[in-house]
Amino acid sequence: MIYRDLPNRLLGIRQPPSSAISASTAARYGRVGLCAALSLTATLSPFIALPLGFPAALAQGGSQGASAEEQAQFHAFLESLYPEAAKHGISRETFQAAFQNLTPDPSVARATGQQSEFERPFAAYFAGAVAQRRIVEGRALAHKYQTQLAEISRRTGVPGAMLLAAWGMESDFGRSMGDKDIIRSLATLAFRQPERSLFRDELIDALVILSKGQVSRDRLKGSWAGAMGGPQFLPSAYMTHAVSYVGGASPDIWTNAPDILASIGKFLRDSGWKPGERWGLEVRVPAGFHYATLHANFQQWAAWGFTGADGSALPRKGEAALFFPAGAKGPAFLLGDNYWVIKTYNNSDAYALSFACLADRIAGSDGLHTAWPKDVPQWRSSEKAEMQRILQRLGYYKGTIDGKFGPSARDAIHAFQLAIGDQPADGIGRTNLLSQLRAKAR
């Protein structure tokens, strides 16, 4: 299963300066889809001590590895959530039934770890995500659901290939949806990370779904962090974005393909998708390009001599950021506004670019025109964090020190490259970037 980073509101990730995403879209970066919870990169916090008093009926059942003390703390924590649940109209009966015999899930702690989107080499991640098998299956599904895809695209403005790419990236067209009890998963995460309201809020939303009778408890299956179905929606995203293709009251995002696709379409539309505009494209960098900026509108890029990698003309409107995921020797892309909408699903550039290119391949385009270079610098998270700190001290970087290179870090590296005359100033740097920064910081 391909999974995510923590919400940007928790990580402090800024919007890319080239993005034209609306403020409402930026606000939605917090609790949408699966991107909300699956990439916990830190160790879960210790068990917390809370007053006892959880009903005896809820304290029954095997501990499955939890000590009696931990189990009592877990139950007390769950009971402490009832006042908030009641405010959302959840009855005591529904509340107790949801937590009957519940135990902490020990696999949640084992599942935390580094995110492949941020840690794997870009080319390796891309090759796995945009695999030929996935392209072939996506095209077959495009044919199978051509009527429904056309209708969903009419409603949302999102191309059918984009809907299929999201389904493929999120759950491999339904193969990797997860089989965890999300009530148990979210309860465990909320208990072990009480300082983060996200999991507690998602747990309450899951109870609301049960209370409304939208989904039965046995259907609430998903990932270890609570994401569900083909789109991998968290409970809040299910409540906000899941829709039935035929207009029913209870969208089935587990087994009903039109509901899955319609829900993905609504999510992308709600996140600011601009109908009729491309996400971006692979481009051919003209000889003699000055690398003075990574941000301009498409008309300006065309005036500088940029074309599509296949020689095609660039889009005529919109802003675009120049992106070299593997440095200037590798493929180059111009990223339009809809690219940043894709990133509301997952803030990783490896994920978003793979998503976009998978959609293009499903729609019938050829693969990349420029091969991935073999001499791409690979830095550990600790080294990236060190570079961010130095760039911050030098006045180039204003983002979060998180050991992940996104748009803000690339812009900072680009500015540093220009300042020291290091060309091509691609925003990525070469293997000596860290030593260059250390020398400047002395």
pLDDT (tens digit, 9 = 90+) per residue, 262-293?
999 999 999 999 999 999 999 999 999 999 99
- What percent helix, strand, coil does the chain show, rounded to 5? 45, 5, 45
Burial class (CB in 10 A: 0-12, 13-18, 19+), 212: middle
Stretch among 109-113, 158-162, 424-428 having the lowest mean pLDDT: 109-113
Mean pLDDT across the chain = 86
Strands across the sheet containing 280-284 = 295-297, 319-323, 332-335, 280-284, 307-308
pLDDT (tens digit, 9 = 90+) per residue, 344-364?
999 999 999 999 999 999 999
Q: Which contiguous run of DSSP H or E holds residue 124?
A: helix 122-129
Pairing label, strands 221-222, 307-308: unpaired
User: For the chain, which residues make up each domain, given as ranges?
Assistant: 381-441
pLDDT (tens digit, 9 = 90+) per residue, 115-156?
455 567 899 999 999 999 999 999 999 999 999 999 999 999
Please report the pLDDT score of residue 3 as a whole number. Answer: 32
Please report the pLDDT score of residue 442 as a whole number. Answer: 87
Average pLDDT over residues 28-57: 33
Does 183 have pLDDT greater than 60?
yes
Please report the pLDDT score of residue 248 as a whole number. Answer: 86
Stretch among 5-9, 102-106, 402-406 having the lowest mean pLDDT: 5-9
Please report the pLDDT score of residue 117 as a whole number. Answer: 54
Does 436 have pLDDT greater than 90?
yes
Does 39 have pLDDT greater than 90?
no
Of all residues in the chain, what percent carry a pLDDT higher than 70?
A: 83
Identify the band that residue 49 occupies on the pLDDT scale cut at 50, 70 and 90. very low
Please report the pLDDT score of residue 111 as a whole number. Answer: 60
Please report the pLDDT score of residue 137 as a whole number. Answer: 98
Please report the pLDDT score of residue 120 as a whole number. Answer: 78
Average pLDDT over residues 168-175: 97
d(C-alpha 257, C-alpha 245), whole Å:
9
Of all residues in the chain, what percent carry a pLDDT higher than 90?
A: 77
d(C-alpha 31, C-alpha 230), whole Å:
17
Tokens standing for residue 160: 């059918």
Please report the pLDDT score of residue 107 as a whole number. Answer: 85
Please report the pLDDT score of residue 402 as a whole number. Answer: 93
Average pLDDT over residues 43-50: 26
Please report the pLDDT score of residue 33 as a whole number. Answer: 42
Model confidence, pTM: 0.85
More confident site: 3 or 33: 33
Average pLDDT over residues 217-225: 93
